[in-house]
Amino acid sequence: MTTFLGMPATAPRGVGQLRGDRTFPQAAHAALGDAQLRRNLRHATATIRSRSGRVIAELPDWQQLRAAGSALKADVMARLPQLLQQLEARVSEAGGVVHWAADAHEANAIVTDLVRRTGSDRVIKVKSMATQEIGLNEALEAAGITPVETDLAELIVQLGDDRPSHILVPAIHRNRSEIRDIFRRSMPGVDPDLTDDPPVLAAAARKYLRETFLSTTVAVSGANFAVAETGTLAVVESEGNGRMCLTLPDTLITVMGLEKVVPTWADLEVFLQLLPRSSTGERMNPYTSMWTGVTPGDGPQNFHLVLLDNGRSAVLADPVGRQALHCIRCSACLNVCPVYERTGGHAYGSVYPGPIGAVLSPQLTGVADNASLPYASSLCGACFDACPVKIDIPSLLVHLRNRAPHPRAERAMMRAAAYLMDRPRAYARAQRAAKLARIAGRRGRGLPPPLSGWTAGRDLPPLPEQTFRDWWARRARAAEEA
């Protein structure tokens, strides 16, 4: 399979944040034992869920909007190369410069080089998943450039030397007293008598960020959408800090996953309705910023667009898996997922946590590198119902499980079970043998792995005296004799 940005087809190892160093069950263990974390997560997801549900219920055409969003994304995937070429042409005509990055290494090198050429040793950043995915902050720091996150939650994560736990609410796992401690410890020039009152915390962040906005000449952003017909980029946000970054500096560098392109301005109408209601439970997001190339004397005078592949071509090449590229990063699937609610985002080992992360990360890295993620779901289906662009996440999980490497013992057991289940008489004998042997012991305690996982918190049912098929056969004989 050749890809239009060339090899490698999957995101490279050793750079960026798509792979964890532990499996999902291992990483979840810590979170499940952290009562404070679980309270924070439960409170936050329940709050967003109810607010989002309320504003979605206001729209009589919500299901049609979802269908429209889904159809638009399918169309984009079907003609992605042409749309990206159109985008490149329009951005260039408008005075921007387009760069193509096959992977995280290339993207980081392009951005680092662009910043160096400005002579600045600091950049302000708009909240962006793409730059987290490629580990841009780490790459900039290694080059002696200081990246300053300006989204409040990202700033909390950055100052806390932490990792984001949610796509939209990166500091969802922190409460306000933890945030005060982080500010006091790491924010330059902060008042040491800071309280944990939210307005006080916000004011401290505002003071620090204002100074940074006014003294930094380079900004790095992501993009929620890029309109191919005009070369316009769009970022939606709630705080306005992003808009400061997009308008004040002299140089703006946007790193965009190449699936973010939409054909026309009219398409934005659909997504700008779907996104805020699904993500923050708002009718419209407070700040929608759009820019096209450069305008002399107004805003950034140098604009660079870095189109990032980093595994996306590989995802696109799978006609089933490519649905994961439809994602508009609203986080609705995280907020309704019972697994995410109990384990938090760090358990997923990737900047993309929750149900969408469980299908996106393994595809970007290759399934073998994230083999436990497709299993980090009970397949309850709440994510599918919540997704504003109707990504069938449960089916994608099943699809990826079919491609994941399997433990040898499990494979042997599954094959044996399938063999038996395809031979009804042997199957019936095995059912009876299971009863006679009482292999389960008393309520199943003391079972060998992996069945021992069951008895961690559950008893096995008592075995019945008779299987259904034996009952049926005996009943049929009795009826014949009667």
Partner 1 sequence: MRIALFATCLADTLFPEAAKATVRLLERLGHEVVFPLEQTCCGQMHVNTGYQREALPLVRRYVSVFGGFDVIVAPSGSCVGSIRHQHETVAARAGERGLAERARDVGSRTYELSELLVDVLGVEDVGAYYPHRVTYHPTCHSLRTTRVGDKPLRLLRRVRGLQLVDLPAAEQCCGFGGTFALKNAETSTAMLADKISGILSTGARVCTAGDVSCLMHIGGGLSRRGADVRTVHLAEILAATEAP
Which residue, 202 or 433, is less far from partner 1 as judged by CB?
Answer: 433
| 482 lies in the binding site for partner 1 (CB under 8 A) | no
Site string for partner 1, 5-44 (x = CB under 8 A): -------------------xx--xx--x-----x------
> Which residues within the stretch 271-330 sit at the binding site for partner 1 (CB under 8 A)?
none
468 binds partner 1 (CB under 8 A): yes
Residue 247 vs 467, nearer CB to partner 1: 467
Confirm or reject binding of residue 473 to partner 1 (CB under 8 A).
yes
Q: Pick the closer one to partner 1 by CB: 36 or 402.
A: 402
Q: Are 120 and 111 in contact (CB under 8 A)?
A: no
Q: Kindly state whether residue 422 participates in binding partner 1, applying the rule CB under 8 A.
A: yes
CB of 471 vs partner 1, minimal distance in Å: 6
Q: How far is the CB of 440 from partner 1 (least distance, A)?
A: 10
Choose, by CB under 8 A, the member of 378, 409, 446, 477 that binds partner 1. 378
Q: Are 404 and 421 in contact (CB under 8 A)?
A: no
450 binds partner 1 (CB under 8 A): yes
CA 422, CA 245: separation in Å to the nearest integer?
63
Specify the residue, 260 or 390, whose C-beta has the smaller distance to partner 1. 390
CA distances to 55, 304, 321, 331 from 280, rounded to whole Å, are 10, 29, 27, 9
Task: Give the angle subtended at the CA of 287 by the CAs of 282 and 292, to the nearest 5°.
Answer: 135
- In the bound state with partner 1, the residue whose beta carbon lies nearer, of 120 and 395, is 395
Residue 356 interacts with partner 1 (CB under 8 A)? no
Site track 329-348 with partner 1 (rule: CB under 8 A), x = hit: ---------xx--xx-----
Q: Is 480 in the site for partner 1 (CB under 8 A)?
A: no
Provide, rounded to whole angstroms, the least separation between the CB of residue 400 and partner 1.
Answer: 8
Q: How far is the CB of 450 from partner 1 (least distance, A)?
A: 5
Calpha distance 465→224 (Å, rounded): 60
Report which DSSP code applies to 462: P
Binds partner 1 (CB under 8 A): choice among 266, 412, 421, 439? 421
332-335 long-range contacts, CB within 8 A, separation 24+: 332/52, 332/278, 332/279, 332/383, 332/386, 332/387, 332/388, 333/382, 333/383, 333/386, 333/387, 333/391, 333/393, 334/45, 334/166, 334/167, 334/168, 335/45, 335/48, 335/49, 335/52, 335/386
Alpha carbons 215 and 253: distance in angstroms, whole number = 17
Q: How far is the CB of 277 from partner 1 (least distance, A)?
A: 20
381 interacts with partner 1 by CB under 8 A: yes
Q: Which amino acid type is present at position 31?
A: A
Please give the size of the binding site for partner 1, defined by CB under 8 A.
Answer: 62
Does residue 409 interact with partner 1 by CB under 8 A? no
Between β-strands 251-257 and 218-221, what pairing exists: parallel, antiparallel or unpaired? parallel
Which long-range CB contacts under 8 A does 169-173 form with residues at least 24 apart? 169/44, 169/48, 169/331, 170/127, 172/40, 172/41, 172/44, 172/45, 172/344, 172/345, 173/37, 173/40, 173/41, 173/344, 173/345, 173/346
Binding status of residue 384 toward partner 1 by CB under 8 A: yes
Calpha distance 265→323 (Å, rounded): 22
Query: Does 163 contact partner 1 by CB under 8 A?
Result: no
Q: Are the CB atoms for 391 and 323 separated by under 8 Å? A: yes
By beta-carbon proximity to partner 1, the closer residue of 107 and 339 is 339
Residue ranges in contact with partner 1 by CB under 8 A = 24-25, 28-29, 32, 38, 338-339, 342-343, 372, 374-382, 384-385, 395, 398, 400-404, 406, 410-411, 414-415, 417-418, 421-422, 424, 427, 431, 434, 443, 450-451, 453-454, 456-461, 463-464, 466-469, 471-473
